Amino acid sequence: MFRNARRLLLGPLLAVCASGAVLTIDAGAAPAFDGGTGEITGIVKADGATRASATNAVGRVDTVRAETRVVIKCRVNGQYVKGTVGNSTQWDLLSTGKFLAHANVQTSATIPACPEPVTAPMAPAGPLATTSNAAFLAAAVAPARASQYEFKVPASVTLAQAILESGWGKSKLSVNDRNYFGMKCFGNPGTIAIGCHDYVTTECDQATQTCFTTTATFRVYHSPTDSFRDHGKQLATLTRYKAAFNYPNNPNQFAAEIHKAGYATDLTYTDKLVGIMVKYNLYQYDLP
């Protein structure tokens, strides 16, 4: 009886993450391939967090405690992390679909590289409050291109919208809430933003060709990168913007289509975007 009780006490424990995912904890297990299933496992050696992308710049998804046993699908290159196991740019894609810095994971197995779509630009840092327009643009190019890679939104359009909507990163919305595109909450912040914030703003009625002052609720982001990604995701997933994606290689028409679909109430929104793209030759940043 006592031997069986001891076996139960030393057996694997289960931890339920905030998302509902179950991680197996086995403090005495050696990281390797899992019981002939072909799965690669590792032991987390320090408390940390899983992320939606391979960087600490995005918000945490779940907390992972030290000595947690995780199942690893493949590896990607991401943000450089100094950890308890080592220092590395490697991030592990877990069976939960989230990323964990490999610098804190112990495993004796060889982890294969993830397929190319996963190793595409991984959540660049994005622009913060900057001292010049040139610095803002230089910082915004990488996340704009990452959005084009993932969501097919022309980088030139993303850059023009970020410049126009945020006033080159100097608006209260971008400085305080990392919101570079005037993204509104509409009842909830969605799956990427972390909250909502009310601001007085100007809206226009296209039917009457008049503008007025009102209060609107805008999304708040953990990082600028999240703002860029949420912008691309919204354009790619909302059906009202579907027509724009008939013009992935025509940024001017793409801009006109999202305006027509109701992205902004500014009556001259398309002209402003195209003017910015032309003036700063933003087309040069579009992926081939």
Q: 210 vs 55, 203, 206, 257, 272, CA distance in Å?
A: 44, 9, 7, 21, 18
Question: Residue 37 above 70 pLDDT?
Answer: no
Mapped onto helix, strand or coil, the DSSP state of residue 48 is strand
C-alpha angle with apex 120: 87 to 284, nearest 5 degrees?
120
Radius of gyration of the chain (CA): 23
Look at residue 147 in the predicted model and tell me its pLDDT: 93
Tell me what percent of the residues of the chain surpass a pLDDT of 70: 76
* Residue-wise burial string across 142-170, b where 16 or more C-beta atoms lie within 10 A, e elsewhere: bbbbbbbebbebbbbbbbbbbbbbbbbbe
Question: Residue 260 above 60 pLDDT?
Answer: yes
Question: Residue 165 above 90 pLDDT?
Answer: yes
Report pLDDT digits (tens) over 208-258.
878 888 877 889 998 899 999 999 999 999 999 999 999 999 999 999 999
Question: Residue 74 above 60 pLDDT?
Answer: yes
Average of per-residue pLDDT values in the chain: 79
pTM: 0.56
- In this structure, are strands 87-94 and 40-44 parallel, antiparallel, or unpaired? unpaired
Look at residue 56 in the predicted model and tell me its pLDDT: 67
Give the integer Cα–Cα distance in Å for 182 and 238: 16
Look at residue 118 in the predicted model and tell me its pLDDT: 36
According to CATH, what is the number of the domain 133-285? Answer: 1.10.530.10
* Residue-wise burial string across 1-25, b where 16 or more C-beta atoms lie within 10 A, e elsewhere: eeeeeeeeeeeeeeeebeeebebeb
Look at residue 48 in the predicted model and tell me its pLDDT: 85
Of the pLDDT bands very low, low, confident and very high (cuts 50, 70, 90), residue 46 is very high
Where, residue-wise, is CATH 1.10.530.10 in the chain? 133-285
